[in-house]
Amino acid sequence: MSATAFAARAGTLRRDTLETLQLNLGRYCNLACTHCHVEAGPKRTEMMDPPTARRIAAWLGANRVQNLDLTGGAPELNAQFRFLVETGRAMGLHVMDRCNLTVLFEPGQSDLAEFLAGHRVEVIASLPCYSADNVDQQRGNRVFEQSIAALRQLNQLGYGQPAGGLLLNLVYNPVGAYLPPAQAALEARYRQELSERYGIVFNRLFTITNMPIRRFRHYLQRIGQFDIYNRLLSDNFNASTLAGLMCRTLVSVDWQGRLYDCDFNQMLDLAAPGTPGRFLWEYAAADLIGRPIATGEHCFGCTAGSGSSCGGALAP
C-alpha cells in the first residue's frame, strides 16, 4: 500500500475553504498514550516559543478564520497556551482545547478549568472508554480516576450542561487494531454509563480512528498487527467520507510555525504541496484555498468505515 494507492481511490484532494487553524503547541505531555500519533510524552522538549506564538497571533489578526484549534502534546502545558486562547477569543474566534483531562491536576494548573470556562473555550477531552481498565491500559495507571474527577470539575463550571453553552465533547479511540463502532450508538452508551455511574454529562462523543503512524505504528508492529491493520483500513475505504475530510477546511501548524495539511502529515513531515516557504506567515489564508493536499497510505485511516476527523465520524 502506498500514497499512490490512496490517490488512485480518492483522486486529488483540494482545500475547499479555510475555517480552522490547528496549532500543535509541541510534543511535551504528562502522559505517553499507546495510540498517540504525536509520540508525545514527559521527556519531549519541543515547545512553541513566544516569538512563534506572536507571529501566529499576528497572522490571525490579518486573516479570517473561524476556529482556533489548540492541540499537542498537552497544549495547556505550553507557556503560550493562555496567550493564544486570550488572543483568539479577543478576535472573536471559536477556540478549542484538545485536553487529556489529567492536565487539570498538574502543578500550576489549579485554575485551568476556570480559565477555560472564563474564556468559553470548547473542551475536546480524550476518554477512550467509560471503563477504568480500558482507559488505564491505553493511557496509564489512575488516568481514568483523574479523568472522571476532571469531568466533574468541568461539569460544575457549566461544561456539558444543556443550557450552559460551554461545550464539552469527548473523544473515543479504540484500544486495539480495529475501527471505532458506530458513533451514535456509542455516544448513547457513554451517556448512560457516565451519567449512571458518575453523574457526568457531556455534549457529544467523537469517534476517531487510530492512525498507524509513530507510536501506534510501533505498537502494531510489536504485536504483529501493522500489515493487518493497514489492510483493514484500505479494505474499508468509504468514498462518501471524502467531502467531509478535515484537511479540506483546515491547515495544521507545528510548534515552529511550519505549515501542513493536517496534524498527521505534520508528524510524518509531509509538506503541503506548493508551499516551499513552509511557514504559516509566508501565506495569506486565501493563498491556501484550492491547493492540492498531500496524501499517503495513512489517509486510509480518515476514510475507513464511517470516516474519522477531529470532529468525529464523517458518515453514518
pLDDT for the residue 274: 81
The CB-side HSE value for 242 (13 A sphere, CA atoms) comes to 14
- Is 35 a member of any domain? yes
CATH code (residue 85): 3.20.20.70
Strands (E), the chain: 20-24, 67-71, 94-99, 122-126, 168-172, 204-207, 250-253, 259-260
Residue 267, domain extent: 16-211+245-294
- Which region among 25-29, 102-106, 251-255, 269-273 has the lowest average model confidence (pLDDT)? 269-273
Are the CB atoms for 104 and 112 separated by under 8 Å? yes
- Is 303 a member of any domain? no
Query: Over 90: is that where the pLDDT of 132 sits?
Result: no
Query: Over 60: is that where the pLDDT of 14 sits?
Result: yes
Q: Note the pLDDT tens digit of each residue in 236-268.
A: 999 999 999 999 999 999 999 999 999 999 999
Place of cell 451519567: 195
- Is 253 a member of any domain? yes
Confidence class of residue 3 from pLDDT cuts 50, 70 and 90? low
For the chain, the farthest-separated pair of C-alpha atoms sits apart, in whole angstroms, at: 53
When divided into structural domains, the chain yields a total of: 1
In whole angstroms, what separates CA 154 from the centre of its chain? 19
- Is 116 a member of any domain? yes
pLDDT for the residue 35: 80
- Is 112 a member of any domain? yes
pLDDT for the residue 276: 74
Q: Which of 56, 14, 24 is nearest to 249 (CA)?
A: 14
- What residues are paired with 47 via a beta bridge? 26
Confidence class of residue 1 from pLDDT cuts 50, 70 and 90? very low
Instruction: Give me the chain's average pLDDT, please.
Output: 94
- Give the separation between CA 76 and CA 143, rounded to whole angstroms: 17
- Is 301 a member of any domain? no
- Give me the percent of the chain exceeding a pLDDT of 90: 84
- Is 179 a member of any domain? yes
pTM: 0.95
Is beta strand 204-207 parallel, antiparallel or unpaired with respect to 250-253? unpaired
- Is 234 a member of any domain? no
Are the CB atoms for 56 and 23 separated by under 8 Å? yes
Mean pLDDT value across residues 50-63: 98
- Give the separation between CA 129 and CA 174, rounded to whole angstroms: 8
Place of cell 454509563: 193
CA distances from 80 to 40, 155, 183, 199, 255 (A): 18, 26, 34, 34, 10
Confidence class of residue 8 from pLDDT cuts 50, 70 and 90? very high
- What residues are paired with 24 via a beta bridge? 71
- Give the separation between CA 45 and CA 39, rounded to whole angstroms: 12
Query: Over 90: is that where the pLDDT of 121 sits?
Result: yes
Query: Over 80: is that where the pLDDT of 2 sits?
Result: no
**Mapping DSSP to helix (H, G, I), strand (E, B) and coil, where does residue 182 land?**
coil
- Give the separation between CA 255 and CA 84, rounded to whole angstroms: 13
